[in-house]
């Protein structure tokens, strides 16, 4: 019975077979504003899988896992600081996760995803437009997602002050995965 069930599931999910992302080609950058001065950072290690056929976008989905410890900011001080409990608390919450619930075509190569973003144990609904392009054997998803850092309690205590670090952080995602065909 069990092998049969597994086979059924496999067949049922075949058109949606998730492709693991190409971690080396994928990156998540973010821009924060420190006293109105823009500053760039990034997460270097991202994993997960993406299923997205442009012809059948509604069936698409993505599940991304971001390793918090792979964060990088302009200074070593800042990089170390963001792993502390007041910021990401990387020991207790080593990953952030984005799981899409729906993908809608917006025309051409543009789409909109809705889903849930979990950072530091807090889950919020998020939605953002993105583009899909082919780069050789890879499909690449590019988009930006503004988030409120305070909604996820990233930057607590003295760091909750938005005059020092603005609440809004712009996340830029560039996710590459093997094209299905």
Partner 1 sequence: MKPANNARYAAPMVLLHWLMAILIVTAFAVGLKIWSLPLSPLRLKLILGHKSAGIAVLLLLALRVIVRLASHVPPLPAHMSPIEQRLAHLGHLALYVLMLAVPLSGWAMSSAYGIPVVFLGVLHLPEWIASDPTLAEQLRWLHRGLNLLLALTIVGHAFFALKHHFFDHDGMLNRMRLGGSRSMEK
**Could you say which of 81, 118, 144, 180 contacts partner 1 (CB under 8 A)?**
81
Full strand arrangement of the beta sheet holding 110-119: 19-20, 46-51, 61-67, 95-107, 110-119, 122-135, 138-148, 168-178, 27-34, 37-43, 71-72
Give the interface size with partner 1 as a residue count (CB under 8 A).
17
Pick the closest to residue 103 from 137, 54, 159 (CA basis). 54
Which residue is associated with the tokens 């979990």? 118
Distance of CA 25 to the CA centre of its chain: 14
**Could you say which of 1, 55, 108, 161 contacts partner 1 (CB under 8 A)?**
161
Q: Is 18 in the site for partner 1 (CB under 8 A)?
A: no
What is the DSSP code (8-state) at residue 52? -
Instruction: Decide whether 125 or 163 has the Cβ nearer to partner 1.
Output: 163
Instruction: Decide whether 23 or 81 has the Cβ nearer to partner 1.
Output: 81
Which residue is associated with the tokens 């420190």? 34
Instruction: Decide whether 63 or 162 has the Cβ nearer to partner 1.
Output: 162
Q: Is 40 in the site for partner 1 (CB under 8 A)?
A: yes
CB atoms within 10 A of CB 77: 9
Longest dimension (CA), the chain: 62
Q: Is 78 in the site for partner 1 (CB under 8 A)?
A: yes
116-145 positions binding partner 1, by CB under 8 A:
none
Q: Is 85 in the site for partner 1 (CB under 8 A)?
A: no
Q: Is 55 in the site for partner 1 (CB under 8 A)?
A: no
**Count of positions (residues) in the chain:** 181
* Residue 166 C-beta: closest distance to partner 1, Å: 12
* Residue 71 C-beta: closest distance to partner 1, Å: 14
Interface residue list for partner 1 (CB under 8 A): 34-40, 74-78, 81, 158-159, 161, 164
């Amino acid at each position: 019975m069990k092998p049969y069930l597994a086979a059924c599931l496999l067949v049922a999910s075949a058109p949606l077979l998730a492709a693991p992302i190409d971690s080396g080609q994928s990156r998540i950058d973010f821009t924060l504003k420190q006293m109105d001065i823009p500053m760039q950072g990034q997460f270097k290690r991202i994993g997960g899988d993406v299923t997205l056929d442009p012809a059948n976008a509604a069936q698409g989905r993505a599940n991304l896992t971001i390793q918090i410890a792979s964060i990088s900011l302009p200074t070593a001080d800042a990089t170390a600081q963001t792993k502390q409990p007041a910021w990401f608390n990387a020991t207790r919450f080593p990953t952030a996760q984005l799981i899409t619930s729906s993908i809608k075509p917006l025309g051409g190569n543009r789409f909109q995803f809705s889903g849930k973003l979990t950072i530091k144990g807090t889950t919020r609904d998020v939605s953002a437009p993105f583009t899909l392009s082919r780069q050789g054997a890879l499909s690449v998803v590019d988009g930006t997602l503004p988030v409120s850092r305070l909604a996820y309690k990233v930057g607590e205590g003295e760091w909750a002050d938005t005059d020092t670090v603005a609440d809004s952080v712009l996340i830029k995602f560039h996710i590459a995965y093997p094209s299905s065909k």
